[in-house]
Amino acid sequence: MKYVDEFRDGQLAQELAQKIKREVQPGRQYHLMEFCGGHTHAIFRYGIPDLLPPEVKMIHGPGCPVCVLPIVRIDSAIELAMDHGVILCTYGDMMRVPGSRKMSLLKAKAEGADVRMVYSTLDALALARQNPEREVVFFAIGFETTTPPTAMAIQQAERLGIKNFSVFCNHVLTPSAISTILESPEVRELGTLPLDGFVGPAHVSTVIGSQPYEYFAEEYQSPVVIAGFEPLDVLQAILMLVRQINEGRAEVENEFTRAVSRDGNLKAKRIVADTFEMRREFEWRGLGMVPYSGLKIKARFAAFDAEKRFTLKRRSARENKACECPAILRGVKTPRDCKLFGTVCTPENPIGSCMVSSEGACAAHYSYGRYRDHLAADTPSNLIQKSEA
């Protein structure tokens, strides 16, 4: 398959790994954060840590949209479904994320709430047209990648005169999260989270372009390499970051040139700007309240804003004390640091959000067997081949 097979070549992966080993300077450590959950998934799936020298450490960032949504927003979605009698539509992973009191949208559905999994915003819009007597709410989550389709659905609902459709908006912004991580006490004061560079997100960058990351390279002297999701993309990005660090450069480089430009998708950015505006702050699981990191629907489209259409209770909720998802999302802990990981918390019975989505660090770590730490039988050359089997 073009644009896939050539980026999964095991021999080329070996050659890239050898180049990285040759470029790594003895005694120097390279702490690289992959922001995006898609990269976290690829890193575990293709056994990339086993191809890297011990000096290169990959740190998982908060780029899984399902993982970062706080419990209070999940509770609000459950309230919409159970107390307001709406048809609540969302993507599949969100149905399994635990809210308060071990409730989830999937359990709400089992108790009689009308919760439906959809594959796109237009599926939700179609449901509204098919059920004119019912209120249909789309539970919108995600980074800049999924925001344009939500904007398109709102504008189409307005054009078509659909009155029973609204959106519970939880879209968040990548640059704000990166800023929060770089300004965190663990990075700035305590030094417990060393960060030498970022593997920049792929899909997000196809929309926003590479330009927004230039601030981090200039202000924080933090190299960024935007990479695709295939294993050779990730290895090439790591090689480019190692070279930047060795040469004392802090630049934005684009490995994913087949899809990402400096300016991004202008049409997508325009429809988002027409439909949404920034919230003063938005809560993230693990990061807390992050200024100007979330979007809300503009007043012009208030009729399609579920937060204005329905009265939702103000809530506060606590994470499970034993769950380390918040620390894992900040990059200060790994899945193996959590006592629940692989014991009571598994993909079949997730306690924390990081165990739900395939992009979550815990789910990826568990699904590809890395929690067992017995990789001696696996040679680097066959890891990629095995992952494709």
pTM recorded for the entire structure: 0.91
The tokens for 336 are 């193996």
pLDDT of amino acid 5: 85
The tokens for 250 are 């802090």
pLDDT of amino acid 2: 73
The tokens for 151 are 């904007």
Distances (CA, A) of 349 to 45, 73, 129, 218, 388: 21, 21, 35, 43, 26
The tokens for 34 are 């992959």
Residue type, 9: D
pLDDT, averaged in runs of 10, over the chain (389 residues): 83 96 96 96 94 96 93 96 96 92 93 97 97 98 97 98 98 96 94 95 97 96 97 98 98 97 98 98 95 97 98 81 93 93 92 91 88 48 46
Burial of residue 377, with CB atoms counted within 10 A of its CB: 0-12 exposed, 13-18 middle, 19 or more buried: exposed
pLDDT of amino acid 382: 45
pLDDT of amino acid 245: 98
**Strand, helix or coil at 58?**
strand
pLDDT of amino acid 3: 74
pLDDT of amino acid 320: 84
pLDDT of amino acid 15: 97
Residues 276, 268: Cα–Cα separation, whole Å? 12
Token pair 């960060």 is found at: 195
DSSP result, 333-368? S-GGG-TTBTTTBBTTB-SSGGGTSTTSHHHHHHHT
The tokens for 348 are 């079949």
Segment (H or E) for 197: strand 197-200
The tokens for 213 are 């990351």
Q: Domains of the chain by range and CATH?
A: 69-170+264-305 (3.40.50.11740), 322-368 (no CATH)
